[in-house]
């Protein structure tokens, strides 16, 4: 039995042993660096959900043209933006098991109007970016994604990590299933938001874990990379379903 089969078996619920613990809420990790408050997302776009679903494709060829700060803000809000709050809980655009939100969002910015290229952390509660580093973020993102060079032509690349303990306090080993499901929900929201704005995206699971973790400054154990999405203005070629 391979590790995939063991994972499925060892994270299964059984009626006599559901392995559910008590609920818990862990704070968001602190991120040092200059904070940049994002503009409000543009929710007036005339594209319907049904149009976005029909038109969404994986795009692997980009023009390199910058996207606007409002377009970036709208994408990040669609991914994990706050939609409501009740007491200590702030609910978001994408569902999360137990409303624990273990997934964190980072952005490698290459071509966004009025923003310096570099690596940023998205702070959902404040709808702002924390600048972690500056430099050629696009090439770093491409190298970390198995040297897929089309990523270097995109305007932004989003990295999603998980703070596993945030879900483990309630769901134990089962938490790992939910963490990956959460990341999928977020990535789909992101892809549809990009499509609705006339942008292209490609979801990426082929990545060098250690290189991604090092690029983002996470330890790879308590917090580790899960998934990536690259976004930009699509060129005429390179589209795939």
What beta strand segments (E) does 79-232 contain? Answer: 82-86, 89-92, 103-109, 118-123, 128-134, 156-163, 200-204, 223-232
Predicted TM-score (pTM) above 0.75: yes
Lowest mean pLDDT among 23-27, 68-72, 87-91, 211-215: 23-27
* Domain range 30-240, its CATH number among 3.30.470.20, 3.40.109.10, 3.40.50.150, 3.40.50.10490: 3.40.109.10
3-class state of residue 122 by DSSP: strand
pLDDT tens-digit series, residues 94-141: 999 999 999 999 999 999 999 999 999 999 999 999 999 999 999 999
pLDDT of 28 higher than 70? no
The dihedral formed by the CA atoms of 187, 106, 140 and 137, expressed in degrees to the nearest 10: 110
Per-chain mean pLDDT for the chain: 90
pLDDT of 86 higher than 60? yes
Q: How far apart are CA 109 and CA 132, in angstroms?
A: 11
């Amino acid at each position: 039995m391979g590790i995939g089969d063991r994972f499925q078996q060892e994270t299964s619920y059984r009626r006599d042993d559901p392995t559910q613990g008590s609920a818990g809420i862990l704070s968001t990790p602190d991120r040092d660096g200059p904070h940049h408050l994002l503009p409000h997302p543009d929710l007036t776009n005339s594209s319907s959900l049904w149009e976005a679903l029909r038109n969404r494709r994986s795009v692997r060829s980009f023009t390199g043209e910058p996207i606007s700060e409002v377009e970036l803000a709208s994408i990040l809000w669609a991914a994990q933006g706050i939609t409501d709050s009740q007491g200590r809980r702030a609910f978001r655009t994408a569902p999360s098991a137990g409303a624990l939100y273990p997934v964190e969002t980072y952005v490698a910015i290459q071509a966004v109007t009025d923003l310096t290229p570099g690596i940023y952390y998205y702070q959902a509660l404040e709808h702002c970016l924390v600048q972690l580093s500056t430099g050629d973020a696009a090439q770093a993102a491409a190298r970390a994604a198995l040297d897929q060079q089309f990523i270097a032509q995109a305007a932004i690349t989003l990295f999603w990590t998980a703070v596993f303990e945030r879900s483990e306090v309630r769901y134990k080993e089962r938490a790992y299933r939910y963490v990956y499901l959460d990341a999928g929900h977020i990535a789909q929201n992101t892809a549809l938001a990009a499509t609705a704005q006339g942008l292209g995206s490609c979801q990426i699971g082929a990545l060098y874990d250690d290189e991604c973790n090092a690029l983002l400054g996470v330890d790879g154990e308590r917090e580790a990379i899960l998934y990536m999405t690259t976004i930009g203005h699509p060129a005429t070629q390179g589209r795939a379903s």
